[in-house]
């Protein structure tokens, strides 16, 4: 079960690459806004309601991709207390997926700032270097990918009709190394299709899939996942909705607005 005091970085499941010769995935540079609500809560959950707004953008720049996420999720507890969680995230990932820079700031249950870089080589181990909150280094297993490359690969898997994808991924949202990520692929949810019909537009009138992402500790692959995220993702990289599964309750993050950003002339 997820620690309810730790927000999940939704940006890690949003982006997809379109590096010539590497991926056959064309990402739409875009900026989007999402509403936060409580999807489901069990009788044993300490959370009775959730609300908030999240802004997210992914933009093609010369040599790579920039992504940014900012927003607040407010959790109302059975005690009546409201627990706000504010997250600011930004990253740059190189075309080809071999370099990555990340910055994360969490406000709420104790402020935290995470900064660092990571590199991986073709067919070789990689390395992640954190500079904040303190200097720390992790070796990344052979085959590790960063978020852009990972999502490109699962979109390609979905296009090919596959129902599952598995790899190691490094995101930099916690001071630790790579995780094992298993993606289960199925058709778009009916809730996501309702978002498409409601908002319309050329960015959203596209094919897509539902991805159930289960994160595991690489040293303990036989137990329960560390956490799970469900995402309805279109083939151009626009996400219609997420479900953040905290075990005894789940939070829905649903698209309410999206606009295209112009790609650079590199």
Helices (H) and strands (E) in the chain, counts: 2, 14
Diameter of the chain by CA atoms? 55
Cα Rg of the chain (Å, integer): 18
Of residues 263 and 161, more confidence is placed in: 161
CA–CA separation, 174 vs 54, rounded Å? 20
Arithmetic mean of pLDDT, 2-14: 42
- In this structure, is residue 4 part of a structural domain? no
- 34 within some domain: yes
Give 140 or 223, the one with higher predicted confidence: 140
Higher pLDDT, 5 or 191: 191
Residue 27 banded pLDDT, cuts 50, 70, 90: confident
Domain that holds residue 44: 10-260
Among 184, 167, 236, residue whose Cα is nearest residue 15:
236
What integer is the mean pLDDT of 50-71?
91
The answer as to whether 134 is a domain residue is yes
Question: Cis ω on the peptide bond leading into residue 237 (within 30° of 0)?
Answer: no
pLDDT at 9: 53
Number of domains in the chain: 1
- Residue 161 falls inside a structural domain: yes
**What length does the chain have?**
266
Which of 146-150, 196-200, 242-246 is the most confident on average? Answer: 196-200
DSSP assignment of 12-72 equals GGT-----TTT----PPPEEEEEEEEEEEE-TT-SEEEEEEEEEEEEEEETTEEEEEEEEE
Distance CA 47, CA 42 (A): 9
Supply the pLDDT for residue 109.
63
Instruction: Check residue 174 and report its DSSP letter.
Output: S
How much is the pTM? 0.86
Per-residue pLDDT of 204-247, as tens digits, reads 999 999 999 999 988 876 678 888 899 999 998 899 999 988 88
The residues, any chain, with a CB within 8 Å of residue 224's CB and separated by 6 or more, are none
Any domain includes 1: no
Q: Does residue 3 belong to any structural domain of this protein?
A: no
Listed in sequence order, the residues at least 6 apart from 161 whose beta carbon sits closer than 8 Å to its beta carbon are: none
Residue of higher predicted confidence among 11 and 105: 105
From 224, 225, 196, 222, select the one nearest 210 (Cα to Cα): 196
Q: What pLDDT is attached to residue 10?
A: 52
259 confidence band (pLDDT: 50, 70, 90):
very high
First to last CA, the chain: 45
What is the overall mean pLDDT for the chain? 86
CA nearest neighbour of 235 among 201, 256, 210, 263: 210
Task: Please state, in angstroms and as integers, the Cα–Cα distance from residue 85 to each residue in 5, 70, 116, 145, 233, following that order.
Answer: 8, 11, 22, 28, 24
Is the residue at 67 inside a domain? yes
pLDDT tens figures, 167-195: 999 999 889 999 999 999 999 999 999 99
Tell me if 70 is assigned to some domain. Answer: yes
Q: CA 46 to CA 58: how far, in whole Å? A: 34
């Amino acid at each position: 079960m997820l620690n309810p005091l730790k927000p999940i970085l939704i940006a890690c499941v949003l982006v997809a690459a379109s590096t010539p010769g590497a991926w056959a995935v064309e990402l739409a540079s875009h900026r989007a806004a999402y509403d936060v609500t409580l999807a489901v809560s069990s009788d044993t959950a300490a959370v009775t309601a959730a609300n908030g707004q999240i802004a997210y953008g992914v933009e093609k720049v010369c040599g790579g991709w920039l992504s940014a996420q900012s927003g607040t999720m407010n959790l109302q507890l059975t005690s009546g207390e409201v627990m706000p969680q504010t997250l600011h995230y930004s990253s740059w990932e190189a075309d080809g997926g071999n370099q990555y820079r990340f910055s994360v700031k969490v406000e709420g249950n104790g402020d935290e700032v995470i900064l660092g870089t990571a590199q991986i080589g073709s067919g070789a181990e990689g390395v992640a270097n954190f500079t904040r909150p303190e200097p720390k280094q992790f070796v990344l297993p052979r085959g590790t990918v960063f978020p852009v490359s990972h999502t490109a690969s699962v979109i390609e898997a979905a296009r090919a009709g596959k129902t599952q994808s598995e790899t190691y991924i490094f995101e930099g949202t916690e001071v630790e190394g790579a995780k094992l990520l298993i993606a289960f692929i199925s058709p778009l949810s009916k809730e996501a299709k309702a978002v498409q019909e409601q908002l319309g537009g050329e960015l959203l009138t596209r094919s897509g899939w539902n991805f159930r992402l289960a994160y595991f500790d690489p040293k303990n692959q036989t137990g329960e996942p560390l956490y799970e995220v469900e995402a309805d993702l279109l083939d151009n990289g626009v996400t219609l909705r997420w479900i953040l599964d905290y075990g005894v309750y789940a939070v829905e993050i649903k698209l309410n607005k999206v606009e295209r950003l112009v790609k650079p002339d590199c």
